[in-house]
Structure 1
């Protein structure tokens, strides 16, 4: 917006994570959320295949925390595009919006499970929705039967992953955003050329790879 545009007349502006209505950024570091949605679709398809003898087919659902949030809309776009392009056996039977509350995510997921006996998987596209949907899967004893891919991580989601309630998490790299953001700001201040847009990555985390050093560092960043 205007404050960024005005500031950019005097200093280099480096953006991190959340976008703003301005073209004045010297560099912008963020997750490619469309790619994040694609990664989620791949993770959900893999989980469904694993649970169904290699067959990637059945009904799936998408639950988004709020309408109109740019990053969430991009994740939904990537997810739906990847389903259409790669997984003809998976049918998106529900594309639901919540109100940002985990309990609403729980209630939506419970209703979907009841209404769709062929439901094989759900993508909950942010942390809060993954908490609520994970709770629904746990309460209905559907771990390993209905796949769940969430986005981002906290202690609760990591426990769900370890317990098999969550099949996979798409995890961003906020440490890299901050670290590389400072490096980029320093380089730009010296007049060095910097990348206009930097994708800081969307990583698929499963129970199988969660102990890998690179993945563990994303789940448990060392901040000292």
Structure 2
């Protein structure tokens, strides 16, 4: 299956997430331990550090490396537009500096595999986040299993009650979007119908117009879904501009302050919260285990939580949300 991920301006962020090339369900068997050796340094190539959830990933990465006394360095593009070449260049520079491990988020898997092989040839361990089975060179992968997320979103939409006619916003055909959307369509309850899919090219500046055009062409739609973290503003803006608050709602990805506002004002019904902190925390923990000769899973699903107004306060109190 094909991925985030990806992420796309922040398609990858969410998915974002957003955001690699394929997101399947790789075997959960143990990763080969390979050569052992103390982990003293790790480089994290963050695809979108300005996006709240990837900022959380950075924070938790630093906390985890500090806990183990590891020199943890992180770098990524500024702003909310993914700059894949910038990330690839940082990884190339890091390989030359030879850290003990590099964490990557393969936005375009074919472009990352050569760098992963180059790193491994120098004895550098490689970990991928949200990569599924889109790459094979890594020591292990950690992140959201998007097929499970899509199925969970379908069930959550069905719980609204009444007929739910869904319009889907994604960046383009294929990729992580298809993994999530296909899983959603395959698990629709009887009261949920997928009406149409529209594409915004992963550009948050185009999302509002894309949603508006879709709703005007399909007035029966009463729920707009997107897995893209940066589609939130466009979805809520379109709903408000067309006077559809209370009639049409959005379902989105991640639990940023903007999403919290949308849930509270009624423009959003709910959101899938990915655990970005667990992604980087578990990565550091597993690298330490590998360095001691222990086995770790080849794939770890960090899961999602569906948050609505009903459990928003609980999610905030438990630290589930992005601050």
Please classify the TM superposition score into its range, dividing by the shorter chain length. Answer: 0.7 to 0.9
Counterpart residue number, 1:52 = none
Q: Check whether the contact 1:14–1:184 (CA below 8 A) recurs between aligned residues.
A: no
Normalising by structure 2, report the TM-score: 0.60
2:170–2:198: 8 Å Cα contact kept in structure 1?
yes
CA distance in 1, matches of 2:282, 2:304: 16
Q: RMSD of the TM alignment (CA)?
A: 2.1
Q: Find runs of 4+ consecutive structure 1 residues off by over 3 angstroms.
A: 18-22, 213-216
1:45 Cα deviation from its structure 2 partner? 2.1
> Alpha-carbon deviations, 1:149-186, whole Å to 9, x = none?
10123222221111111000111111000111100110
Q: Which runs of 5+ in 1 are unaligned?
A: 50-54
In the aligned structure 1, how far is the partner of 2:172 from the partner of 2:244?
A: 25
Partner SS for 1:212 = helix
- Equivalent positions of 1:126-137 (< 5 A) are 126-137=228-239
Is 1:74 equivalent to 2:179 in the alignment? yes
> CA distance change for structure 1 residues 214 and 13 in 2, over 3 Å: closer, same or farther?
farther
**Structure 2 stretches lacking a partner, 5+ long:** 1-112
Query: In structure 1, what is the equivalent of residue 114 of structure 2?
Result: 2
Distance in 2 between residues matched to 1:160 and 1:21, nearest whole Å: 33
C-alpha distance in 2 between matches for 1:152 and 1:18: 18
TM superposition score normalised by structure 1: 0.84
Aligned-pair CA distance for 1:200: 0.6
Structure 2 contact 256–322 (Cα < 8 Å) conserved: no
Deviation at 1:213, TM superposition (A): 4.9
| Alignment: residue pair count | 210
Aligned twin of 2:29:
none
Distance 1:124 1:24 in 2: 30
Does the Cα contact within 8 Å between 1:44 and 1:123 map onto a contact in 2?
no
